Amino acid sequence: MRVSKITGIAAGIAAATLLAGCSAGGGSASAGTQDITVWLYPVIADETMHKDFWDTTIAAFEKENTDVNVKYEIFPWANRDEALQTAIAAGKGPDLVYLVPDQLAAYQKSILPLNDLLSEERQGDLLPNVKTSVTIDGDILGAPVLTSAQPLICNAAAFEAAGVTEYPKTWDDIIEMAPKFTEKGMYALNYPASAENTLNLTYYPLLWQAGGEVFTKDGDVGFDSKAGEQALTFITDLAESGALDPEALTTNVPLEQTAIAQGKVACTWNNGVTEVAPFWGEENVKVLAPLTDKETVAYGTVGSLSVLKGSKAPEAAAAFAEYATGADVIEPYLKAAGYFSALSTTEPLYADDALLGEVEKYVPDTTVGELNASSRALMGVLAPEIQAALLGQKAPADALKDAAAAAAPILKK
């Protein structure tokens, strides 16, 4: 594998490859050298492999750019915003930091736009939906590292048990097939509604498929709309008819304890193929296009490297960001982490993988949604209202109206 090659290269760089927090080039900076610091997070679960990638990448970059000295630190995901906010406020933030879309909105005032720092060629190579996901007010706020996709995946064995021969393409298809699954003691869809689950993987895809939006262009609430009500009604009607696992609406349990693991769920868009394959059997995992109502769209995240305005060497930081996210450089990183390329010029990474290769096809159909600094706070008030509707405690229209009222004081425009 390509990844094992990284480990071998990194091992051969001897003293030049140090632990996180140290320069991969080693030694103190010589006169005229620009120092840049990069803050990263454990995207690759294997810590050694993750460090090896960055050690090797930095060493190669420094070999071509002898006047730049790159240091990096790997922070835990937990409390990452608190650490970054504190550093920025104290004037001690990094030159370059890994951010996801809602963070781009939250830190917009602290991020240096890359419009004039990222090459026109690279900007042109970005997938259109990926470029949109890192752009606010016309400013490109990050050099994309990776992207993901959450299309519809269905369990062929469950369909066979229910006697259903056609896989769903639309909401109407789900409604039509649902009774056949409930008759067999199974569920048409997986829908985890407890508050700790991100709406990016539950309600928002339905909202987008209905042609709706989370935020309006003016930064106001957008979900309290006809499309929002249609999306919530679709899922609440399924819950009322028994087509959703009632336990998943109230509790969050390990995957191995869920109806998915028991083979009782027909389809899901909030799980990955590698998660369900051990329970369904790889041969039963069917990767399909995202569901359609008015639009065909799924959620997919985008991770990017952003240059902060406090950087004393922004050009060097941007140069490293462009180098590290180049197609040839980033490919082993993506495959080790199970993510996809953000570039339209990259050849398929998973052509030899029956499952991920299918998921990869739907990367262009994904979105991160609207970028707004209030995204996380909004979920905190919207998720409980959606759950209340799913439990039959509120009508969909009332739940969305109440969520919109609660959201008004927390919106940041």
Q: Is the pLDDT of residue 178 over 50?
A: yes
Does 34-149+301-367 carry CATH code 3.40.190.10? Answer: yes
* Burial annotation 352-391 (CB, 10 A radius, 16+ → b, else e): ebebbebbbebbebbbbbbbbbbbebbbebbbbbbbbbbe
**CB neighbour class for 110 (10 Å; exposed up to 12, middle 13-18, buried from 19):** middle
Q: Please give the pLDDT value at position 31.
A: 55
**What confidence category does residue 32 fall into, taking pLDDT thresholds of 50, 70 and 90?**
confident
Tokens of 128: 């259109």
Rounded CA separation 111/103 (Å): 10
**What confidence category does residue 195 fall into, taking pLDDT thresholds of 50, 70 and 90?**
confident
Q: Which CATH class is domain 152-299+371-412?
A: alpha beta
Q: Kindly report the number of other CB atoms within 10 A of residue 248's CB atom.
A: 24
19 closest CA partner among 73, 56, 69, 59: 73
Each domain of the chain, given as residue ranges in start order, spans 34-149+301-367, 152-299+371-412
Q: Please give the pLDDT value at position 22.
A: 37
- Residues 101-119 have pLDDT tens digits of 999 999 999 999 999 999 9
Tokens of 363: 């990367």
Mean pLDDT value across residues 33-41: 96
Q: Please give the pLDDT value at position 10.
A: 33
Q: Please give the pLDDT value at position 413.
A: 58
- Residues 229-257 have pLDDT tens digits of 999 999 999 999 999 999 999 999 899 99
- Residues 357-374 have pLDDT tens digits of 999 999 999 999 999 999
The better pLDDT of the pair 11, 34 is held by 34
Q: Please give the pLDDT value at position 105.
A: 94
What's the whole-number average pLDDT of the chain? 92
Domain 34-149+301-367 shares a fold with domain 152-299+371-412: yes
Tokens of 266: 């027909």
The better pLDDT of the pair 328, 30 is held by 328
Rounded CA separation 266/334 (Å): 29
Tokens of 225: 């709309």
- Residues 269-320 have pLDDT tens digits of 999 999 999 999 999 999 999 999 999 999 999 999 999 999 999 999 999 9
Q: Which residue's entry shows tokens 């094992």? A: 4
Mean pLDDT value across residues 155-182: 98
What kind and span of H or E run contains 217?
Answer: none
Query: With contact defined as beta carbons under 8 Å apart, do 207 and 227 qualify?
Result: yes
Q: Please give the pLDDT value at position 18.
A: 31
**What confidence category does residue 196 fall into, taking pLDDT thresholds of 50, 70 and 90?**
confident
Q: Please give the pLDDT value at position 14.
A: 29
Q: Is the pLDDT of residue 27 over 50?
A: no
Query: With contact defined as beta carbons under 8 Å apart, do 270 and 190 qualify?
Result: yes
- Residues 327-345 have pLDDT tens digits of 999 999 999 999 999 999 9
Mean pLDDT value across residues 136-158: 98
Q: Which amino acid makes up residue 119?
A: S
- Residues 198-222 have pLDDT tens digits of 999 999 999 999 999 999 988 999 9
What Å distances lie between residue 226 and 62, 180, 408, CA to CA? Answer: 54, 29, 19
